[in-house]
A and B are shown apart, each in its own frame.
Chain A
């Protein structure tokens, strides 16, 4: 076990490493972890030309938002696990409320509001800074105790004692 993390900066640096820098697709998207506490996770996605769905408008495709919301919900689940265990997305619903504004970063905020021995339930919003004016809303459920080895990301709840 690593030494206790005393500051929020240290904690966020660890989340950044395990939830973005060491997950190839999250790293490819350049996801930045901006907040993490027990049951809550927040990430930021910078606007990039290759994320665009419609080159005439510059509006982001749904895909980068889907991947960020999935990752952010997963991170919220990990903060709830006192004992590390492998888990996987069971289903994910995304409601597209309005187009993302071209050029602006998108923030995702996810909450894990209930966890049982088998399933974790999450909700998330994507927005440009005002959660009351969402670009997308998500609901994701996660199956706990799936096959395979525990990843470092999945053990972050224990590691950070968040």
Chain B
């Protein structure tokens, strides 16, 4: 079993879902972590200056929004589904809807279709107003350990 899945088992006992991010160096560096304070699993990317892509507007770099939507989908699959392996990403399509201001970004994922081997996940990111998403994404993940595909984590 991978260290991440061991961490998942510990986190399930303690209920502190934010600790899942501690096992992922990139999530720590980007300050991306899941939270479930409201009973709903959300993922937050805490604002820090290294996220900026356009210093004139200013706006958060689009690549970081794609990255956090991908992490949102992974945390969702780990936490909300009975996965026995770390999901392997196949592809992701990100739609950019609004420029993201220099504040926290919050995202939520939902499973559109759960197959035996493949899962289709939708994720949506917003800032202050949930009704005004800054970006959305659709992604495919392989969730069966026997499949030969690149691991997303």
Chain A positions near chain B (C-beta within 8 angstroms): 22-28, 49-57, 59-64, 66-71, 88-99, 146, 148-149, 151
* Distance A70 CA – B27 CA, assembled complex (angstroms): 19
A53 near B50: Cβ-Cβ < 8 Å? no
B66 near A50: Cβ-Cβ < 8 Å? no
A sample of 12 more A-B contacts (CB under 8 A), given A57-B151, A61-B24, A95-B91, is: A24-B52, A25-B61, A51-B26, A54-B24, A63-B70, A64-B67, A92-B96, A94-B92, A96-B89, A96-B90, A96-B149, A149-B56
Range, interface on chain B: 35 or more
Main secondary structure of the interface of A (DSSP, over half): mixed
Instruction: Give residues 86-100 of B contacting A (CB, 8 Å).
Output: 86, 89-96, 99
Which A residue sits closest to B53, measured CB to CB? Answer: A25
* Distance A64 CA – B55 CA, assembled complex (angstroms): 20
Chain B positions near chain A (C-beta within 8 angstroms): 2-4, 23-30, 49-57, 60-64, 66-68, 70-71, 86, 89-96, 99, 149-153
B24 near A26: Cβ-Cβ < 8 Å? no
Which A residue sits closest to B24, measured CB to CB? Answer: A53
Q: Which residues of A contact B60 (CB under 8 A)?
A: 25
B66 near A92: Cβ-Cβ < 8 Å? yes
* Distance A55 CA – B53 CA, assembled complex (angstroms): 27
